[in-house]
């Protein structure tokens, strides 16, 4: 049978765009459907605008110690409206570059919502097309809990469109989204309260790092209501009231309430049943190690599947899919030692096993090297800022199975160490490496 396209991709986010470009380079006839802006969550309402806000907040933090470095005191004002408008202009510029790349590569872009009619037929709004292979890369959206008054809350999506900075911000959820926004908004002068169901924020990260980050953010003025759950949101004349139950029963007054309780796959209204594509827990598409769904010609990658929800992982899955299906080079993705970071201030980053994970798997053969110190910049400024580094090793060879860091440049440092860890380096390899001095990274090479 002759199809309109060799490959049809549902979604032009990080994964979909990567797959489209890779396949087009191989001479594959590609079409992509996207109902929103090109680039998906990461570009438009996630990683990129978030990191730009982190940079803006960094100026506020640096200004606090500027006088220690000889700068005279001066009044300053942060214009959120101007800044966020500039952020969106930058994103629009990147959007255009996606469109230009599609055009240059011969990729057909269909604007609209794509629905499967059968294993080879897709309907985009009112247009029907056919394809030999189909890739689902529709991503995920913020999960909104079912509590009274939740309609008064906003998700991370709306945070990038706030017309003004709230004086009081309550955040439901102590995951990476909630923690990052708590740090940024606090730096801008907002009074921030974070509600989390756990005792400590950032479940899944190493306990030492989690605990100290929470303490550090508390010292900056962020309030944490832990072991508690949001129960209700009410609107009143002066703003919003968030009722919290659990260990702490209280009512929190806020101008805005950010709901940061995780993300859920965008798998509704895709016609998956029409193509016999199975969905597993929490609405995620079930796939095998080659990203193939229950329908042999339909594949899925990224946040809509039951794997890691990280942009670089999604792009890696997309490239592996193209190599497997169109490059005759079967390729799987290694989900071990995937680095991750939380761009709070202070920043944290991690790769490999936490101490508790390592001890659960390897028992008494696990050893940890840990150090807490004050970076040079903050020694001179006499601030309270500290850094923590932690290396988890296993066995007599002291093979490194986990690295965790809190402090400036944590993400960049751990990213570089990640390459070495995947190659199986030991603690002795770190000890034998000559450091660059003075740097924060050199502390990994002098651990005792």
- Distance between CA atoms of residues 152 and 154, nearest Å: 7
164 pLDDT above the threshold of 90: yes
Query: What is the band of 115 on the pLDDT scale with cuts at 50, 70, 90?
Result: very high
Q: Please, what sign has the CA dihedral across residues 215, 198, 259, 93?
A: positive
pLDDT given for residue 281 in this prediction: 79
The chain-wide mean pLDDT, for the chain, equals: 96
Instruction: Give mean pLDDT, residues 124-141.
Output: 97
Instruction: Name the residue with higher pLDDT: 382 or 138.
Output: 138
pLDDT > 90: percent of the chain: 96
Angle between helices 207-219 and 176-187 (to 10 degrees): 30
Q: For residue range 37-58, what is the model confidence (pLDDT) as tens digits?
A: 999 999 999 999 999 999 999 9
Question: Active-site residue 437, yes or no?
Answer: yes
pLDDT band at 279 (very low <50, low <70, confident <90, very high): very high
- Look at residue 382 in the predicted model and tell me its pLDDT: 82
Task: Tell me the pLDDT tens digit for each residue of 55-82.
Answer: 999 999 999 999 999 999 888 899 999 9
Q: How confident is the model at residue 384 (pLDDT cuts 50, 70, 90)?
A: confident
Instruction: Retrieve residue 226's tokens.
Output: 């832990």
CA dist 367 and 223 (Å) reads 34
Q: What is the pLDDT of residues 225-256, one digit of tens each?
A: 999 999 999 999 999 999 999 998 999 999 99
Residue 372 pLDDT > 90: yes
pLDDT at 280 over 90: yes
Q: What is the mean pLDDT of residues 204-231?
A: 97
Conformation bin of residue 227: beta by default, left when phi > 0, alpha when psi is -120 to 50: left
Buried b (16+ CB within 10 A) or exposed e, 313-349: bbbbbbbbbbbbbbbeeebebeeebbbbbbbbbbbbb
Q: Would you place residue 142 in the very low, low, confident or very high pLDDT band (cuts 50, 70, 90)?
A: very high
Read off the pLDDT of residues 285-327 as tens digits, 9 standing for 90 and up: 999 999 999 999 999 999 999 899 999 999 999 999 999 999 9
The confidence score (pLDDT) of residue 92 equals 96
Percentage of residues in the chain having pLDDT higher than 70:
100
Alpha helices (H) along 192-281: 207-219
- What is the C-alpha to C-alpha distance for residues 262 and 379, in angstroms, rounded to an integer? 37
For residue 89, give the 3-state DSSP assignment.
Answer: helix
pLDDT of residue 248: 86
Averaged pLDDT, 339-356: 97
Place of tokens 């590609």: 30
Q: Are 56 and 165 in contact (CB under 8 A)?
A: no
Q: Tokens 């079912």 appear where?
A: 146
Q: Please report how the helices 80-105 and 47-66 are oriented relative to each other, as an axis angle in degrees rounded to 10.
A: 140
Q: What domains does the chain contain, in order, with CATH numbers?
A: 5-142+264-325 (3.50.50.60), 150-261 (3.50.50.60), 346-445 (3.30.390.30)
């Amino acid at each position: 049978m002759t199809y309109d396209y060799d490959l049809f991709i549902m979604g032009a986010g990080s994964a979909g765009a990567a797959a489209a470009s890779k396949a087009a380079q191989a001479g594959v006839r590609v079409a992509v459907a996207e109902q929103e802006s090109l680039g998906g969550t990461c570009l438009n309402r996630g990683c990129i605008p978030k990191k730009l806000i982190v940079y803006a907040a960094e100026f506020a933090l640096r200004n606090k110690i500027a006088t220690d470095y000889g700068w005279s005191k001066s009044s300053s004002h942060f214009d959120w409206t101007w800044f966020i408008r500039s952020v969106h202009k930058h994103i629009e510029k990147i959007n255009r570059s996606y469109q230009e790349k599609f055009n240059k590569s011969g990729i057909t872009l269909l604007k609209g919502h794509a629905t499967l009619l059968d294993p080879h037929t897709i309907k985009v709004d009112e247009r029907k097309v056919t394809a030999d292979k189909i890739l689902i890369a529709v991503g995920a959206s913020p999960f909104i809990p079912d509590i009274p008054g939740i309609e008064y809350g906003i998700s991370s999506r709306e945070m990038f469109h706030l017309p003004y900075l709230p004086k009081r911000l309550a955040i439901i959820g102590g995951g990476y989204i909630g923690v990052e926004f708590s740090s940024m908004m606090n730096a801008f002068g907002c009074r921030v309260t974070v509600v989390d169901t756990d005792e400590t924020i950032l479940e899944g990260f190493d306990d030492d790092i989690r605990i100290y980050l929470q303490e550090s953010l508390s010292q900056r003025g962020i309030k944490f209501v832990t072991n508690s759950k949001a129960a209700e949101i009410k609107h009143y004349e002066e703003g919003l009231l968030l009722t919290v139950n659990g260990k702490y029963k209280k009512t929190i007054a806020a101008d805005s309430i950010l709901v940061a309780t995780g993300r859920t796959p965008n798998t509704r209204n895709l016609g998956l049943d029409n193509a016999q594509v199975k969905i597993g827990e929490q609405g995620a598409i079930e796939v095998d190690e080659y990203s193939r769904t229950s329908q042999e010609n339909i594949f899925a990658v990224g946040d809509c599947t039951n794997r890691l929800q990280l942009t670089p992982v999604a792009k890696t899955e997309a490239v592996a899919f193209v190599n497997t299906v169109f490059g005759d080079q079967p390729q799987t993705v290694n989900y071990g030692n995937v680095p991750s970071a939380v761009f709070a201030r202070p920043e944290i980053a991690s790769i490999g096993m936490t101490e508790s994970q390592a001890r659960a798997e390897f028992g008494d053969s696990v050893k940890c090297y840990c150090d807490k110190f004050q970076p040079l910049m903050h020694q001179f400024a006499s601030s309270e800022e500290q850094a923590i580094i932690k290396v988890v090793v296993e066995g007599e060879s002291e093979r490194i199975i986990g690295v965790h860091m809190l402090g400036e440049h944590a993400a960049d440092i751990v990213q570089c160490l990640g390459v070495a860890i995947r190659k199986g380096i030991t603690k002795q390899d770190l000890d034998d490496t000559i450091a660059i001095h003075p740097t924060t990274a050199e502390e990994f090479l002098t651990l005792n």
